[in-house]
Amino acid sequence: MYTDSHAHLSSEQIFPLADEVLTRAKAASVDAIINICTDSDSLKKGLELKARYPWIYNTASTTPHDVDKEGELFFPEVERAAKNAQLVAIGETGLDYFYEHSDKKSQQKYLSKYFALAVDVSLPVVFHCRDAFQDLFAMADQEYQNRGAVLHCFTGSLAEARQVLDRGWYLSLSGIVTFKKSIELQEVARFVPLDRLFIETDSPYLAPQSNRGKMNEPAFISETAALIASLKNIPVKNLAEATSANARAFFSF
């Protein structure tokens, strides 16, 4: 059975189709999904989904893209949901200097706020990071030492992967690893120890190679799992079991 460690089920693309998407997920041996909520509407819908499907678990925070316009509005809601035991993690928070849709200083400000919240409520953090690893590592080393985190949809270098693992964090791979040109990322997949690895879809984004260009969904996670298992030269069953056990331990469900 697979755990999709990162999906946006309450997004505008998936939520209207949630029942059929989740039926296909179950048929594809997905027995747990971590749903990422990034604003008030997606959190409300995520809690609705959790009430209907107990095998869905929610996280929440403003993404680094959106902190300039939504950070102040959403943070109190995340804090309330976390303190009401409605979340299994804080995230996806972090830094994104590739797009820089929000000012770098704003991104850092809210990352600090979410670090403090995660410490306060004893929840792990789900990171989004692109072209900002050194700042992320420096901030975490100052404000979030020796605490649980996962780098979602990792697309960094082997050297950056080593730094993630050196901090005791997990690393999550998405359908990007199946793309034909993802040679360096496939090297990362070979390198990451099985006990530090998650798999995810990041639905509705980043469908794996055979469905590239389509709306992604949790049922497609088997393709990502199969590719990583082949790179590691292990049975896909072993990969599914290990990554699911890692997610259960990390998110405490």
How confident is the model at residue 98, as a pLDDT?
84
Number of domains the chain contains = 1
How confident is the model at residue 100, as a pLDDT?
76
How confident is the model at residue 71, as a pLDDT?
85
Listed in sequence order, the residues at least 6 apart from 61 whose beta carbon sits closer than 8 Å to its beta carbon are: 38, 74, 78, 90, 91, 92, 93, 110, 114, 126
Domain containing residue 139: 2-251
In angstroms, the CA 104 to CA 86 distance is 29
In angstroms, the CA 143 to CA 62 distance is 19
Strand order through the sheet with 89-96: 2-7, 30-37, 56-60, 89-96, 125-130, 149-151, 170-173, 197-199
**Domain CATH code at residue 153:** 3.20.20.140
How confident is the model at residue 101, as a pLDDT?
81
Contact 35, 59 (CB under 8 A): yes
How confident is the model at residue 21, as a pLDDT?
98
Q: What DSSP string runs through the chain?
A: -EEEEEE-TTSTTTGGGHHHHHHHHHHTTEEEEEEEE-SHHHHHHHHHHHHH-TTEEEEE---TTTHHHHHHHHHHHHHHHHHTT--SEEEEEEEETTT-SS-HHHHHHHHHHHHHHHHHHT--EEEEEES-HHHHHHHHHHHSTT--EEETT----HHHHHHHHHTT-EEEE-GGGGSTT-HHHHHHHHHS-GGGEEE---BTS---GGGTTSPP-GGGHHHHHHHHHHHHTS-HHHHHHHHHHHHHHHHT-
Whether the pTM exceeds 0.75: the reply is: yes
- Three-state SS across 163-178? HHHHCCCEEEECHHHH
- What's the average pLDDT block by block, 10 residues per block, for the chain (253 residues)? 98 98 98 98 98 98 93 96 98 92 94 98 97 97 97 97 98 98 98 98 98 97 98 98 98 97
In angstroms, the CA 106 to CA 110 distance is 6
Q: Per this entry, what is the length of the chain?
A: 253
Amino acid identity for residue 137 in this structure: F
In angstroms, the CA 58 to CA 53 distance is 11
How confident is the model at residue 118, as a pLDDT?
98
Amino acid identity for residue 14 in this structure: I
